[in-house]
Amino acid sequence: MIYIKLLAAFLKIGLFSFGGAYGAIPLIRDVVLENQWMDAEMFSNLIALSESTPGPIMVNMATYVGSKQGGFLGALAATTGVVLPSFLILLAVTVLFHNFLKRKKVQAVLKGVKPCLMGVILATGIYMAVSICIPSGVSRHMAETQGIGSVFLAIDPAACVLLSVLGLVTVLYQAVRKKDFPPVALLSLAAVLGCIFYS
């Protein structure tokens, strides 16, 4: 039954996604692609949509995937699955272990997990950049029909330019102003550039 499958899949994601939404994206991607709930290109669009709408990215993604597969009940099952582990763990820590996070062993575990999370988030960023610049469906089709060298012909120049401009603006802003470029401004700039390049 699809509702149980959605609940179990997102329960696993909620249980093992350390480091917030960006750390969870590879887990969600694996589950979604493995179950063929959407393709890689649609998943990239889902990340952009979840990032630009209000609320936590993980919850937005779970709700959308659940809704797409099982309507309202599917959305409820997926959202419950992704939220439940964090809720129960935080509840247990708050109620039972007042000094839990201050313990040396817990601090050691958290320090060990941080570098791993940085790698996962970096890998996710690289995957997203490549999948945006080279649409997976196009590249797979060209590789199968015309050989692996033809994949480079599938590169989307507009996406590469847009990605480069956004990266350059972010780096320059940080170098000049000594602080991060505001996410709302970055999303707005990306939306404007998207309208210019793709209209």
- Residue 195 tokens, joined: 């309208």
pLDDT at 28: 86
Output the average pLDDT for the chain: 81
Residue at 141 is within a domain: yes
User: Cα separation of 45 and 23, whole Å?
Assistant: 18
- Please compute the mean of the pLDDT values over residues 179-198 and round it to a whole number: 85
Give domain status of residue 47, yes or no. yes
What are the pLDDT digits (tens) for 7-59? 999 998 888 877 666 778 888 888 888 988 988 778 888 887 887 777 788 88
Q: Give the pLDDT confidence score for residue 72 in this predicted structure.
A: 92
- Euclidean distance between the first and final Cα of the chain, in Å? 42
Domain contains 73: yes
Determine, yes or no, domain membership for 181: no
CA atoms within 13 A on the CB side of 44: 17
In a domain, 195, yes or no: no
For the chain, the domain total comes to 1
Range of the domain at 100: 2-155
User: Is 198 a domain residue?
Assistant: no
Within-domain flag for 168:
no
DSSP helix, strand, coil percent of the chain (3-state; round to 5): 85, 0, 15
pLDDT for residue 139: 46
Looking at the predicted structure, is the pLDDT value of residue 76 above 90?
Answer: yes
Given a cut of 90, whether residue 107 has pLDDT beyond it is: no
- Per residue in 123-168, pLDDT (tens digit) is 877 877 887 777 665 445 444 555 555 555 567 788 888 888 888 9
Position 137 in a domain: yes
Query: 19 φ, ψ to 5°?
Result: 90, 15
Residue 106 has pLDDT above 90, yes or no: no
